[in-house]
């Protein structure tokens, strides 16, 4: 059954919402709610109806229900004020009021026989239905919901292919070895897990497996109280999705280093470049740039390589390793091309945001980072860079909160040191020098050559009058950024207002920088 309204098509067989031919991402539960409202459009649907049909008569808070209604509206370009398509009827319920036309079902899609990915392809990943360990079949919905939400979240990370639910869930309740699953689905990585609910507590375990080698790459356990089922589900989904991406990148980098140099393809070169980018040293910055140039020579329309090239160049500018004028035009061209290649790739928008940031277009930078996070809320790197742009835009409190969110989102992230350094700078701008010093030291503990952390440590020590600490920090800063000077700071960093710039310069003067 398919329904057409405005520029949208809602397909019940494919469980898909499209707008002008493009698929609109929807959580499974939000799809079910929207589909029910459309099929029942001739009447007002009560809260009780929704709880019965969508939540199987489970206890649901008003906030959880409203969040799903808002998500359905947002997917349609509607909102709670306009209520163009989904109308709230006070004290009665909800009604779909758009003009709907039923259309014939789409031709059945022929299932292509899955084949194992070639070495040059992006790796593929399957998320299996999480096993219900509660002993109550009625609790299957919770594990299925976790699995489906992880699958949706991973699909937003466009570095690898994610196998559709209809394929990966066919193994539910069957004892099948992961190597066989990998061969049948054509995947390299498999996510599996379990859910155990007891009273008002839940324990969720998840692990990422390399199905080819049989190795466990990552595993974690989450114990939570079920005060709000959906809040817990969202929190754990985000934590798992954020943890998986860097683990796959690390595994792919390891795999690429086992291949002969002459056989490296664009993906292998990208993975090697990413590992250098994460190390945050001048030498690794140059190594990443060279590898990305090779990858783009192989595939000029390789969106991820173009994005990373722009991000790498702009980060080099921020740390004083390269001149802005020398790299900004090519970096912007690469970022814009990445957006054209895939306008729904969060990395492409983060890359363009980083170019706008370094070229003092802070409003545009914030807009691009916000777009990246809208496309992938679990993108910790975009969250961290967003925090940095907020701090230079003069929004120190928002910056600190955004940096803390990046740290919480991905506590094992390769860029964790950077997020601590950004949080430290936000605290410095608010004159909380002691906290800034503590956060800068934490950043340095994670990454001993982090130029930005030594900058914050130097200026904070300068403002507190700690001469010994300032001397040490300034010495390390000169080691990691030999060309550092008051002139460079005053002219190269993109502050929105002079007060913040002068405060930073004063900290350096007191630390002893000439």
Greatest distance between any 2 Cα atoms in the chain: 77
List the structure tokens of 486.
């008051």
| Averaged pLDDT for residues 185-193 | 89
Residue-level pLDDT at 227: 77
The listed range with the strongest mean pLDDT (151-155, 171-175, 232-236, 491-495) is: 491-495
Using the predicted structure, report yes or no on whether residue 238 has a pLDDT greater than 90. no
**428: CB partners within 8 A, 6+ apart:** 436, 456, 459, 460, 463, 504, 507
Report DSSP state, residue 29. H
| Averaged pLDDT for residues 340-369 | 91
| Three-class DSSP labels, 71-83 | HHHHHCCCCCCCC
| Averaged pLDDT for residues 3-28 | 84
Query: Which is higher by pLDDT, 328 or 171?
Result: 328
Strands 2-5 and 101-103 come out as antiparallel
Is the overall model pTM greater than 0.85, yes or no? Answer: no
Listed residue (223, 245, 221, 244) closest to 232, CA to CA: 223
| Averaged pLDDT for residues 179-208 | 88
Q: How many CB atoms lie within 10 A of CB 190?
A: 23
Cα(294)–Cα(297) distance, integer angstroms: 5
277-328 confidence digits (pLDDT tens): 988 888 999 999 999 999 999 999 999 999 999 999 999 999 889 999 999 9
**458: CB partners within 8 A, 6+ apart:** 470, 473, 474, 477, 507, 508, 511, 513
Each residue of 123-152: b (16+ CB within 10 Å) or e?
A: bbbbbbbbbbbbeeeebbebbbbbbbbbbb
Angle at CA 382, nearest 5°, toward 456 and 455? Answer: 10
Integer CA distances (angstroms), 13 to 24, 83, 430, in order: 16, 27, 54
Cα(46)–Cα(91) distance, integer angstroms: 9
Structure confidence at residue 399 as a pLDDT band (50, 70, 90)? very high
Q: What is the mean pLDDT of the chain?
A: 87
Are the C-beta atoms of 294 and 269 separated by less than 8 Å? Answer: yes
Cα(196)–Cα(78) distance, integer angstroms: 37
Residue-level pLDDT at 121: 54
Cα(16)–Cα(277) distance, integer angstroms: 37
Give the H or E element holding residue 210.
strand 201-210
Are the C-beta atoms of 126 and 187 separated by less than 8 Å? Answer: yes
Out of 24-33, 261-270, 443-452, pick the least confident: 24-33
Cα(140)–Cα(393) distance, integer angstroms: 47
77-122 confidence digits (pLDDT tens): 898 888 999 999 998 999 999 999 887 655 444 433 333 333 335 6
Cα(128)–Cα(151) distance, integer angstroms: 9
Integer CA distances (angstroms), 22 to 18, 373, 434, in order: 5, 19, 50
Residue-level pLDDT at 505: 96
Are the C-beta atoms of 101 and 3 separated by less than 8 Å? Answer: yes
Integer CA distances (angstroms), 235 to 157, 222, 386, in order: 17, 10, 21
Structure confidence at residue 58 as a pLDDT band (50, 70, 90)? low
Q: How many Å separate Cα 511 from the centre of its chain?
A: 37
Query: Which is higher by pLDDT, 66 or 28?
Result: 66
Integer CA distances (angstroms), 506 to 34, 37, 282, 459, 500, in order: 57, 60, 27, 8, 10
| Averaged pLDDT for residues 249-265 | 81
Strands 189-198 and 201-210 come out as antiparallel
């Amino acid at each position: 059954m398919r329904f057409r309204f405005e520029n949208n098509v809602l397909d019940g067989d494919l469980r898909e919402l499209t707008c002008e031919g493009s698929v609109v991402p929807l959580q499974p539960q939000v799809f079910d709610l929207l589909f029910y409202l459309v099929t029942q459009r001739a009447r007002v649907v009560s809260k009780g109806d929704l709880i019965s049909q969508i939540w199987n008569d489970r206890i649901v808070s008003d906030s959880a229900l409203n969040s799903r209604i808002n998500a359905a509206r947002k997917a349609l370009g509607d909102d709670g004020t306009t209520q163009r398509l989904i109308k709230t009827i006070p004290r009665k319920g909800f009604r779909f009021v758009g003009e709907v036309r039923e259309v014939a079902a789409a031709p059945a899609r022929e299932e292509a026989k899955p084949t194992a990915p070639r070495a040059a392809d992006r790796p593929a990943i399957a998320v299996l239905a999480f096993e219900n360990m509660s002993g109550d079949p009625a609790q299957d919905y919770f594990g299925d919901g976790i699995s489906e939400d992880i699958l949706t979240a991973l699909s937003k990370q466009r570095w690898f292919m994610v196998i559709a639910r209809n394929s990966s869930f066919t193994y539910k309740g069957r004892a099948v070895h992961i190597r066989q699953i990998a061969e049948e689905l054509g995947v390299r990585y498999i996510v599996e897990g379990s859910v155990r609910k007891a009273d008002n507590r839940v324990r969720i375990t998840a692990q990422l497996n390399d199905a080819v080698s049989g190795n466990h790459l990552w595993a974690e356990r989450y114990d939570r109280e079920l005060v709000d089922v959906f809040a817990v589900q969202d929190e754990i989904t985000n934590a798992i999705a954020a943890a998986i991406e860097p683990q796959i990148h690390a595994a792919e980098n390891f795999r690429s280093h086992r291949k002969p140099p002459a056989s490296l393809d664009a993906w292998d070169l990208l993975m090697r470049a990413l590992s250098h980018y994460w190390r945050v040293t001048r030498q690794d910055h140059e190594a990443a740039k060279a590898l990305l140039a090779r990858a783009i020579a192989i595939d000029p329309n390789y969106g991820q390589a173009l994005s990373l090239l722009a991000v790498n160049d702009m980060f080099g500018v921020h740390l004083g390793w390269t001149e802005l004028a020398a790299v900004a035009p090519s970096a912007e061209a690469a970022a814009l091309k990445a957006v054209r290649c895939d306008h729904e790739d969060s990395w492409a928008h983060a890359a363009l945001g980083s170019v706008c940031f370094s070229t003092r277009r802070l409003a545009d930078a914030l807009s691009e980072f916000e777009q990246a996070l809208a496309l992938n809320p679990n993108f910790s790197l975009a969250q961290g860079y967003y925090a940095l742009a907020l701090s230079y835009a003069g929004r120190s409190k928002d910056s600190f909160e955004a940096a803390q969110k990046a740290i919480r989102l991905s506590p094992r992230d390769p860029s964790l040191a950077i997020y601590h350094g950004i949080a430290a700078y936000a605290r410095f701008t608010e004159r909380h020098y002691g906290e800034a010093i503590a956060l800068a030291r934490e950043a340095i503990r994670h990454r001993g050559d982090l130029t930005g952390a030594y900058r914050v440590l130097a200026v904070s020590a300068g403002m507190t009058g700690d001469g010994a600490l300032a001397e040490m920090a300034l010495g390390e800063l000169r080691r990691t950024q030999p060309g550092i000077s008051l002139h460079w700071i005053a002219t190269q960093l993109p502050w929105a207002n002079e007060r913040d710039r002068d405060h930073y310069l004063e900290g350096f003067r007191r630390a002893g920088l000439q």
